[in-house]
């Protein structure tokens, strides 16, 4: 009985001591879970924006007609970041174009890699190492028919108790031949940060 009491006391002491120890722990988390670490543009916002925009694009009747028998060729122009914070907008467009491409309904040309492709073709033709009959030909690439472009803007307001951030993301699809905007949509995100009176 005495032994039990000793063990319990020891255990409790350990628990007490360990309870307040400040140790850092590394864990793997869910990459798609909602993240609310701070009010800045985060992974949840990026994923939400990308998912909503691709869903809206797929559901649009115009896009339904465009993709009925063909897979239109698109290119993504860089998104304009008009917010007050640094946001990697290429990451948003990457997510959107990857989703569109993986759906099997669209094809893409990558303007960011034009120079690299040109260098490779130059090497094949002028390097003297590639059999000319097997070199990939110049001037055979397919041009984009549609351009995706957009804006990301924000309104930030705060007082001593509360911060409110509003993001508006607009995306448009332009027919490059006619110059007509065939589809457009915007998505909004509101985030607030307030002081909690009781924290645990």
Partner 1 sequence: MFNSKITTSTSKKVTSSLAMILLSTMVIAGCANKTPPVTAGTGTSAMTQGDDFSKHLEVHNADLAKRLFISDVKSRKSNDLLEINLTLTSRYEKSQKLQYHFNWFDEAGFVIEAGKTPWVPVELHGKQSTTLRGLAPNTKVSTFSVYVREIPEKAYEY
Q: How much of the chain is helix, strand and coil, in % rounded to 5?
A: 35, 25, 40
- Which range binds partner 1 by CB under 8 A, 33-41, 82-90, 118-126, 142-150? 33-41
Q: Are 74 and 108 in contact (CB under 8 A)?
A: yes
Phi, psi (degrees; rounded to nearest 5) at 173: -120, 120
Is residue 15 a contact point for partner 1 (CB under 8 A)?
yes
Is residue 2 a contact point for partner 1 (CB under 8 A)?
no
* The only residue of 22, 133, 160, 197 in contact with partner 1, by rule CB under 8 A: 22
* The only residue of 27, 86, 134, 140 in contact with partner 1, by rule CB under 8 A: 27
Q: Are 161 and 136 in contact (CB under 8 A)?
A: no
Closest CA relative to residue 78, chosen from 62, 95, 92: 92
Comparing CB distances to partner 1, the nearer of 48 and 107 is: 48
* The only residue of 4, 5, 20, 142 in contact with partner 1, by rule CB under 8 A: 20
Sites of contact with partner 1 (CB under 8 A): 12, 15-16, 18-22, 27, 29-37, 44, 47-48, 51, 55, 58-59, 63-64, 67, 99, 102-105, 200
């Amino acid at each position: 009985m005495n032994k039990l009491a000793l063990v319990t006391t020891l255990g409790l002491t350990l628990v007490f001591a360990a309870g307040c120890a400040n140790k850092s722990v590394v864990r793997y988390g869910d990459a798609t879970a909602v993240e609310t670490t701070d009010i800045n543009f985060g992974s949840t916002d990026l994923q939400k924006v990308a998912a909503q925009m691709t869903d809206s694009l797929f559901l649009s009747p115009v896009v339904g007609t465009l993709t009925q028998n063909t897979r239109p060729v698109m290119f993504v122009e860089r998104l304009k970041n008009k917010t007050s914070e640094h946001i990697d907008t290429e990451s948003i467009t990457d997510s959107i174009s990857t989703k569109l491409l993986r759906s099997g309904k669209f094809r893409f040309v990558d303007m960011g890699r034009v120079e690299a492709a040109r260098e490779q073709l130059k090497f094949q033709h002028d390097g003297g190492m590639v059999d000319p009959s097997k070199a990939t030909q110049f001037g055979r690439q397919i041009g984009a028919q549609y351009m995706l472009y957009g804006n990301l803007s924000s309104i930030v307001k705060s007082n001593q108790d509360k911060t409110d951030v509003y993001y508006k993301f607009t995306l448009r699809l332009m027919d490059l031949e006619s110059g007509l905007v065939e589809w457009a949509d915007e998505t909004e995100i509101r985030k607030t940060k307030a002081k909690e009176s009781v924290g645990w």
